[in-house]
Amino acid sequence: MAEFTMELNDEQKEVRDWLHGFAADVIRPAAAEWDEREETPWPVIQEAAKVGIYSLDFYAQQYFDPTGLGIPMAMEELFWGDAGIALSIVGTGLAAVGVLANGTEEQIGTWIPQMYGDASDVKVAAFCSSEPDAGSDVASMRTRAVYDEAKDEWVINGTKTWATNGGIANVHVVVAVVDAELGSKGHASFIIPPGTEGLSQGQKFKKHGIRASHTAEVILDSVRVPGSCLLGGKEKLDERLARAREKARQGGERVKNAAMATFEASRPAVGAMAVGTARAAYEVALDYAKTREQFGRPIIDNQGVAFQLADMRTSIDAARLLVWRASWMAVNGKPFTAAEGSMSKLFASETAKKVTAQAVQILGGNGYTREYPVERMHRDAAIYTIFEGTSEIQRLVIARTLSGMTIR
């Protein structure tokens, strides 16, 4: 097990500087344009693929970094560049991790390369869990997958919503109910291969922020996929369902809300994205406060402004520490006995919202216009307290973990 450290090693520093260079030279200059266009920034993804940032190799290298700092460091730098574009670059990773975590070796080898494509023909992937009536309450999911034993095929019907890259993905990973009696324990994940009949994009959403990231409904109308598309395979699913049924018979924790716990280990990554956005806005505000003069002196010469910047930086550093701790714990298999993953996401996302609002205030009229990037960063930051579990759900997870009680 790697010791927890707050110091990046030389190799990590090199990767961080390389990513920072890409974020500063390629992502940040493109941010305003793609925010206005509200379209997937394919040329930027392609550029990231060319240099090796948009690839499974790069993602896996960071994901398996034993210090746990690889992913948060990478997320922070890319999202420092721009949240919408960075999400377009890392969104595929969310689906890839679903396959890495639950898939067989064959599934990993077959599907993950198709999620990324290559630099001459880049592809993206989507992870589809949320539904119109099942956001925080994942257990009320309605999309059904029924096994057709004669053909060894699964038939999937339902509507997914708010899916990042939904409908434009080459490969979709879809979560569906296979046993409705078991609540979220009766869910399974399926690969929907490219060009599968019955899968279509529904509404594409116009959003408040992260507008360069594509978010849409995904309609599944009698989608048929081979048995080999069930992540982990049928045998493993049957064993898992049998265990869950047994537990239910014994009156155990039958229906546990999946959103409460499933994403605990992936939440620090979202916290790191939030730290990136917060740091970006703080840096703009600091520079501005030092150069903008009113009443014959820089505005930072007023404690009212300087103390805000002091608080902003303190919160950002505190958020990063929580994120790094949780990432280190996740990678090293330390149990989250105080829901440390949720803590990191809760604190970092609330910090990003607050810090970006303070940045707008420090820039005054300029902060409110699209001439300066803090206006966009402020809109972008609002997503962090919503996706991968809202702040309220993080608090529920933390409170339940601490108390051992079913707080509602």
Ligand X SMILES: Cc1cc2nc3c(=O)[nH]c(=O)nc-3n(C[C@H](O)[C@H](O)[C@H](O)COP(=O)(O)OP(=O)(O)OC[C@H]3O[C@@H](n4cnc5c(N)ncnc54)[C@H](O)[C@@H]3O)c2cc1C
Catalytic (active-site) positions: 388
* Shortest distance, position 135 Cβ to ligand X, whole Å: 2
User: What number of H helices and E strands is found in the chain?
Assistant: 15, 11
Tokens of 27: 């992502």
* Shortest distance, position 394 Cβ to ligand X, whole Å: 9
Cβ-Cβ contacts under 8 Å for 111 (sequence gap 6 or more):
99, 103, 171, 191, 193
What number of chain residues touch ligand X (CB under 6 A)? 21
Nearer to ligand X, 124 or 323 (CB): 124
* Shortest distance, position 162 Cβ to ligand X, whole Å: 4
Quick note: the x/- pattern for ligand X over 203-242, rule CB under 6 A, is ----x--x----x---------------------------
For 105, 272, 318, 322, 397, the CA distances from 343, given in Å and listed in that order, are: 33, 12, 11, 7, 9
For residue 396, state whether it binds ligand X (rule: CB under 6 A).
yes
Select from 86, 90, 16 the least CA-distant residue to 380: 86
Nearer to ligand X, 89 or 393 (CB): 393
* Shortest distance, position 84 Cβ to ligand X, whole Å: 10
Q: What angle do CA 35, 36, 40 make, to 5 degrees?
A: 55
Distance of CA 393 to the CA centre of its chain: 16
- Among the candidate windows 35-43, 110-118, 221-229, 384-392, which touches ligand X by CB under 6 A? 384-392
Nearer to ligand X, 182 or 396 (CB): 396
Q: What angle do CA 66, 72, 78 make, to 5 degrees?
A: 135
Q: Left, alpha or beta for 271 (phi > 0: left; psi -120 to 50: alpha)?
A: alpha
- Residues 168-187, interacting with ligand X (CB under 6 A): none
For 100, 319, 346, 408, the CA distances from 63, given in Å and listed in that order, are: 10, 20, 21, 34
For residue 271, state whether it binds ligand X (rule: CB under 6 A).
no
Quick note: the x/- pattern for ligand X over 72-111, rule CB under 6 A, is ----------------------------------------
What does the binding site for ligand X look like in residue numbers (CB under 6 A)?
A: 127-130, 135-136, 162-164, 207, 210, 215, 383, 386-390, 392-393, 396
